[in-house]
A = this chain, B = another copy of it.
Amino acid sequence: MTGDDLVAALRSEAAARYHDKHPFHRAMHEGALTRAQLQAWVANRFYYQSRIPIKDALIVAKSEDPAFRRAWLRRIGDHDGALEGEGGLSQWLALAEGVGLARDEVRSFTAVLPRAKQACDRYVSFVREGSLVAAVASSLTELFAPDLMAVRITSWERHYPWVDREALGYFRGRVTRARRDGDEALGFVLARATDDATGEACLAAFRTKCEILWTLLDAVAERFGIGAA
């Protein structure tokens, strides 16, 4: 498996299984979700967001290379912020307020569905137990996030005008950050996945991650439905 083969395989997986293909996600971007469904997604997805710095710290702990750790540490800072009130988690809580949820309620995870929680916890376990290269490969969904974020901003602004535009800051920030993070992670994976076994392990990790994102949407759709009845 060459690097080009691996990239092609990742693209093919993403085309079939990345969460933008999920009926709930399609409905979100088509403007078909109800306010309650959008709120449920924001509240449940916050649990996923809250796992990101934790899984990233586990990735840092797997590396013997100060340069790698230094670069990956930045991701934790991106989500936790350099100061109180900054960073992706705060931005997501602003999004929660923007869709009409109470910040503290979202932060307390009370609305998180068991199946959504399990999916996110599975991601953390996967990273904790797996190899460094597989853990990094599981982050490669970032490669497909920038385009999706750009579409999401336009879609939300058009279809959900009741959401404060200012509240979409997280999505805006991710367009650039996800591109940088995805490219960096891909470079790392391609440099190491030079044998078939490692390439397959990376592809499997990517598939697992796609499943996790998919299950999160399954959980919300199962409980709240998709669109007005």
Interface residue ranges, A against B (CB under 8 Å): 50, 53-55, 57-58, 60-61, 64, 66-67, 69-70, 73, 76-77, 79-84, 87, 89, 128
Asked if residues B66 and A87 are in contact (CB atoms below 8 Å), the reply is yes
Known: A73-B73, A73-B76. Contact between A81 and B61, CB under 8 A?
Answer: no
Q: Which residues of chain B have C-beta atoms less than 8 A from A69's C-beta?
A: 53, 57, 76, 80
- Number of copies of this chain that the complex holds: 2
Cβ of A41 to closest chain B Cβ, rounded Å: 22
| Complexed CA–CA distance, A4 and B70 (Å) | 38
Q: Which residues of chain B have C-beta atoms less than 8 A from A128's C-beta?
A: 61
| Complexed CA–CA distance, A58 and B61 (Å) | 6
Of the residues B55, B70, B79, contact of A82 by C-beta under 8 Å: B70
Offer 14 A-B interface pairs, CB within 8 angstroms, sorted by A. A54-B64, A57-B58, A57-B60, A57-B61, A57-B69, A58-B58, A61-B61, A66-B79, A66-B80, A66-B81, A70-B77, A70-B81, A73-B73, A73-B76
Q: Interface centre among A53, A57, A58, A128, by most B CB within 10 Å?
A: A57
Closest to A50 in B: B64
| Complexed CA–CA distance, A76 and B50 (Å) | 21
Closest to A77 in B: B73
Closest to A60 in B: B57
